Amino acid sequence: MTAAFWTVAETARQIATGQITASRLVDATLARIATVDRELGAFLDVDEAGARATAHELDRKRTAGEPLGPLAGVPIALKDNLVTKGIPTTAGSQILVGWIPPYDATVVEKLRAAGAVIVGKTNLDEFGMGSSTERSSFKQTRNPWDASRVPGGSSGGSAAAVAAGLCAASLGTDTGGSIRQPAAFTGVVGLKPTYGRVSRWGVVAFASSLDQVGPLARTVADAALLLEVISGHDPRDATSLAAPVPRYTAALAGGVAGLKVGLPREFFDGHGSGTIDADVRAALDRTIAMLRDQGAELVEVSLPHTPLALAAYYIVAPAEASSNLARYDGVRYGKRAEASDLLDLYRKTRGAGFGPEVKRRIMLGTYALRSGYYDAYYKKAQQVRALIKRDFEQAFTQVDVLLTPTTPTAAFRFGAKATPLDMYLGDIFTLSCNLAGLPGLSVPCGLTSEGLPIGAQLLGKPLDEATLLRVGAVIEREVGLGDRRPGAIA
């Protein structure tokens, strides 16, 4: 196995035992990025100098016998909505072109403290708003399995980079499925933690009550390791949880015997205006059968308010987004337009700096928060959200974990979604999890007849990432992609 596709655990071991120096690994990684990413388009910024400096320091430490962290020498990529000190951060938007943050996000600090080598910032839908990375204002990212198709979004760059072996793992963010869906589309593992499990300090806010940072990796074990490093209470984030962080890596081997796995019927009978792709359905059926063979009990459950999730999400998220993006006015940072007066400054800066999808969501959110509309829209959506959460709580009295397809279809082609609504409808399976604040994991469970990856989604109780990872490990072992690698760009 080439170093490009080593797991995080393998990489860390190779570095720690001196079989490869961090500097050599970084060189190889950067060289591979330089060639492969020309077509892939996963990176917005590659921090060669920073990566080399970190690697150099690690090598010095190792030689001097100083202790190394659990991710020492491991090349990691970061979605470009994670604030990095001294490294340009754009959130995929023209409005932040040239912005160099004076501070690091908490997750970045934690990765660095663990010895990770940050190789660069990855492409995303602008401000996290999108499901295909087509909404990046800078470039297209391609799916390494099929260059005519999207890698998913909004963490498309992070997913593609991991799938194509340009880094050992990456971090993305998930507000309505933005880690899980691209993970499913690119055949990697993607985890959205329980809301509050991981600090949002330094995460460019999209929807404050929905956003979470999570890992994308090639194996479940890698995702568990990353999760261990980035989780924990942060006094700088008032919504972060005080609960202690378990050793997720220790909980993977349990198997599924005796576990109750729920199948929410609303996710399987093709609700919404799109039916589930036949190949996706087949892969899920195979997964279900396998789990049964492995000793799990499969139970049909119901989450009756599921059909409302799309509407609730597309009111709450844009409303919070319209508020969080009010700060982008060109006054203190970001690209400022020429203007004759203050009002002109605001309107032109934001009009020119934001892309169409972002503008659309800001408009939607502003609409929903207007006085006279607040009760019927935002407040109502938050109440429906409470009902959706209640559905899950009810289901979890009967089962330990839920299994669904991550997406109704595999990766679609560029330009395939004709209208915004078409794009939104693809998120129907991932949205509820964010609304309810629950953890969610996408694990590859097969390929379509066209050779495109399919993801199985596991949804868990609050703070029960351990069960998700345990079940995910079984799926990975039994019906995962094994050694198969993307063929189109690699």
Partner 1 sequence: MTRTVAELLEVWEPVIGLEVHVQLATKTKAFSASAVGFGEPPNSLTDPVVLGLPGSLPVFNAAALELALRLGIATGSQIRTRSRFARKHYFYPDQPKGYQISQYDEPLCEHGHVDLILGCAVKRVRLTRIHLEEDAGKNTHVGAVSHVDLNRAGVPLVEVVSEPELTSAEEAAEFMRSLHRLVRWIEISEADMEKGQLRCDANVSIRPRGDHRLGTRTELKNINSFRHVQNAIDHEIARQLRIVSAGGQIERETRLWDAEAGQSASLRSKEEANDYRYFPDPDLPPLVVDSAMMANILRALPELPAARFERYQRMHGISPDDARTLVSDRSFAEYFDAACAAHPGEGSGRTIANWMLTELLGALNAEAKQLSQARMSPGMLSALVGLVENGTISGKIGKEIFAECYATGDPPLAIVLRRGVQQISDEGVLREIVERVVTAHPKQAEGFAAGKDGLFGFFVGAVMKETQGRANPILTSDLLHKRLGR
Partner 2 sequence: MTTLTRNEVEEIALLARLHLEPDELDRMQTDLGAILEHFVTLAAVDVTGVAPMTHAGAAATDMTLRADVPEPSLPVDEALRAVARRDGDLIVVPSIIPGNNS
Q: For the chain, percent helix, then strand, then coil, each to nearest 5?
A: 45, 15, 45
The answer to the question of residue 91 lying near partner 1 (CB under 8 A) is yes
**Helix (H), strand (E) at residue 332:** none
Smallest separation (angstroms) from partner 2 to the CB of 25? 33
Task: Return the number of the residue (82 or 288) whose C-beta is nearest partner 1.
Answer: 82
Of residues 25, 36, 44, 96, which one binds partner 1 by CB under 8 A?
Answer: 96
Of residues 72, 198, 369, 402, which one binds partner 1 by CB under 8 A?
Answer: 369
Alpha carbon 59 to its chain's center: 31
**Hey, what are 281's tokens?**
């359905």
The answer to the question of residue 374 lying near partner 1 (CB under 8 A) is yes
Mark the segment that binds partner 2 (CB under 8 A) among 7-15, 54-62, 435-443, 482-490.
435-443
Mark the segment that binds partner 2 (CB under 8 A) among 34-42, 55-63, 306-314, 402-410.
306-314
Q: Which of 93, 154, 170, 231 is catalytic?
A: 154
Site size for partner 2 (CB under 8 A): 79
The answer to the question of residue 346 lying near partner 1 (CB under 8 A) is yes
Given its phi and psi angles, is residue 279 left (phi above 0), alpha (psi -120 to 50 degrees) or beta?
A: alpha
Our answer to whether residue 461 is catalytic in this structure is: no
Beta strand extents in 364-487 (DSSP E only) = 401-405, 440-447, 453-460
**Which amino acid is present at 33?**
I
The answer to the question of residue 463 lying near partner 1 (CB under 8 A) is no
The answer to the question of residue 173 lying near partner 1 (CB under 8 A) is no
Closest to 298 measured CA to CA, from 394, 400, 220, 433: 400
Strands 75-79, 169-174: pairing kind: parallel
Q: What Cα–Cα distance (Å) separates residue 300 from each residue in 115, 243, 308, 395, 438?
A: 44, 31, 20, 10, 19
d(CA 434, CA 177): 8
Residue 74 near which of partner 1, partner 2, none (CB within 5-8 Å, type-dependent): none
Q: Is 363 helix (H, G, I), strand (E, B) or coil?
A: helix
Of residues 331, 363, 376, 421, which one binds partner 1 by CB under 8 A?
Answer: 331
The answer to the question of residue 414 lying near partner 1 (CB under 8 A) is no
**174, β-bridge pairs:** 212
Residues 467-486 that bind partner 2 (CB under 8 A): none
Closest to 475 measured CA to CA, from 246, 183, 225: 183
Smallest separation (angstroms) from partner 2 to the CB of 185? 24
The answer to the question of residue 201 lying near partner 1 (CB under 8 A) is yes
CB neighbours of residue 178 within 10 Å: 37
The torsion defined by the Cα of 15, 16, 17 and 19, in degrees rounded to 10, comes to: 10
The DSSP result for 122-191, as a single string, is: E--SGGG--SSSTT-SS----BTTBTTB---SSSHHHHHHHHTTSSSEEEEEESSSTTHHHHHHHT-EEE
The answer to the question of residue 484 lying near partner 1 (CB under 8 A) is no
Mark the segment that binds partner 1 (CB under 8 A) among 13-21, 204-212, 304-312, 416-424.
204-212
Q: Is 70 helix (H, G, I), strand (E, B) or coil?
A: coil
Q: Which of 79, 110, 121, 461 is catalytic?
A: 79
Of residues 94, 140, 209, 294, which one binds partner 1 by CB under 8 A?
Answer: 209
Our answer to whether residue 273 is catalytic in this structure is: no
Residue 313 near which of partner 2, partner 1, none (CB within 5-8 Å, type-dependent): none
Residues 58-117 that bind partner 2 (CB under 8 A): 98-100, 102
The answer to the question of residue 198 lying near partner 1 (CB under 8 A) is no
Burial of 191-204, coded b for 16+ CB within 10 Å and e otherwise, reads bbbbbbbbbbbbbb
Q: Residue 203 gets which letter from DSSP?
A: B
d(CA 366, CA 460): 33
Q: Give the contact letters, 323-352, x = binds to partner 2 (CB under 8 A), - = no.
A: ---x--xxxxxxxx--xxxxxxxxxx-xxx
Of residues 202, 264, 440, 480, which one binds partner 1 by CB under 8 A?
Answer: 202
Q: Give the contact letters, 185-214, x = binds to partner 2 (CB under 8 A), - = no.
A: ---------xxx------------xx----
Q: Which of 137, 158, 178, 322 is catalytic?
A: 178
Our answer to whether residue 154 is catalytic in this structure is: yes
d(CA 399, CA 393): 10
The answer to the question of residue 242 lying near partner 1 (CB under 8 A) is no
Q: What sections of 201-304 are H helices per DSSP? A: 220-230, 278-293
Mark the segment that binds partner 1 (CB under 8 A) among 13-21, 272-280, 366-374, 461-469.
366-374
Residue 73 near which of partner 2, partner 1, none (CB within 5-8 Å, type-dependent): none
Task: Return the number of the residue (61 or 390) whose C-beta is nearest partner 2.
Answer: 390
Catalytic positions, written as ranges: 79, 154, 178
Q: Which residues bind partner 1 (CB under 8 A)?
A: 82-83, 89, 91, 96, 99, 101-103, 105, 200-205, 207-209, 235-239, 319-320, 323, 325-327, 329, 331-333, 342-343, 346, 366, 369-371, 374, 378
